[in-house]
Amino acid sequence: MSLGPVMLDVEGIELTQEDKELLQHPLVGGVILFTRNFDSVDQLEALVRDIHALREPRLLISVDHEGGRVQRFRDGFTAIPAMANFGHVYEHDKKKARSLANLCGWLMAIELRAVDIDFSFAPVLDLDYGISTVIGDRAFARDPSIVTELAHEFMNGMGDAGMAATGKHFPGHGAIAADSHIDIPVDNRSYNEIYAEDIVPFKRMIHHSMAAIMPAHVIYSEVDPLPAGFSKFWLQEVLRKRLNFQGVIFSDDLDMQGASVISEDYAERAKAALAAGCDMVLVCNNRPGAIQVLEGLGQYDDPVAHMRLARMHGRHPITRDKLHKNVRWRSAVDILNKYQDDPTLELDFDT
């Protein structure tokens, strides 16, 4: 059975019978975990093991674990700073900022890989215009060159840990105040304005072989009447053709208000996202909507998408016991603790 084009969530800290039945549906290809799925590291490891045991090839298991306010697991995991911290450090110490970004990308990823989670939806490539509260300190900086430089380091750290990176939210969510979780954001800038700044980190990270991208549920009204995640222009013309992106395109959550302009029917939302160019659609925190997608999507088979998705499986397996004996992990935790106690402190990244 190949990986299907739908990513779902699960109810709680262990699989219910309904979870198991849904996850074995041929249209399902992945699971996204949330804070409600976490009680302890041991429990999380068991949950991941149970999900992976359901299918062959194994379902992809993901999480939003960027750092800062978007970090789903806390107790037993290192607290990763919000990405804006590295942008602030960059203003006076570029080398230190790059080293911290790399270290945190690796630390975030290696701790997730130690419980066999395949990937985190990170890093954020949006620009911080000082307007968007939903983006805010999740962004590295306002300057697209700084965002790219620090995101590249963060991605390299993730890669060292065996985790593929997902840049979000294409072509850029930072220039508007509305939150696509609860609103229908509209960005009235021209294509040339967006291309000149917001797209720059995506373009450069594609050049650096970023594995996946998540588009925004934002309408760029001067370019296309549809949100980017449902737009053939943004996904096929710009992302695939002009930027030559060959990796995975994940939709943002189809339950978000920003997706509601497509249809009240979740299967229609999924069909629209896949037709626009997404390889996998996310349906989160809405079990009836998820069932609607699985029942209404019909037969779906995209061999190219299967190959792209297979590359999102985690690499370099490591146990928690081995991780906690790992000199690099101990050093990274020590450096990060020192930084968080005193951001001005000189840090030795060579230990």
Could you please report the per-residue DSSP string of 74-123?
Answer: -TTSPPPPPTHHHHHHHTT-HHHHHHHHHHHHHHHHHHHHTTT--EE---
Q: What's the predicted TM-score (pTM) here?
A: 0.96
Active-site positions?
Answer: 181, 252
Domain ranges of the chain: 6-341
Q: Tell which CATH classification among 3.90.1520.10, 3.40.50.720, 1.20.1420.20, 3.20.20.300 matches the domain 6-341.
A: 3.20.20.300
pLDDT tens string, the chain, 351 residues long: the values are 689 999 999 999 999 999 999 999 999 999 999 999 999 999 999 999 999 999 999 999 999 999 999 999 999 999 999 999 999 999 999 999 999 999 999 999 999 999 999 999 999 999 999 998 889 999 999 999 999 999 999 999 999 999 999 999 999 999 988 766 767 889 999 999 999 999 999 999 999 999 999 999 999 999 999 999 999 999 999 999 999 999 999 999 998 887 888 888 999 999 999 999 999 999 999 999 999 999 999 888 888 999 999 999 999 999 999 999 999 999 999 999 999 888 887 887 875
Question: pLDDT at position 126, please?
Answer: 97
Query: Which residue in this structure is represented by tokens 């009447």?
Result: 225
Residue 318 one-letter amino acid = I
Burial of 299 (0-12, 13-18, 19+ CB in 10 A): exposed
| Residues 3, 33 contacting (CB under 8 angstroms) | no
* Dist. CA 180–CA 183, nearest whole Å: 5
Question: pLDDT at position 185, please?
Answer: 86
DSSP E strands, the chain: 6-8, 28-33, 60-63, 65-67, 70-71, 119-120, 166-170, 186-187, 212-215, 219-220, 248-253, 280-283
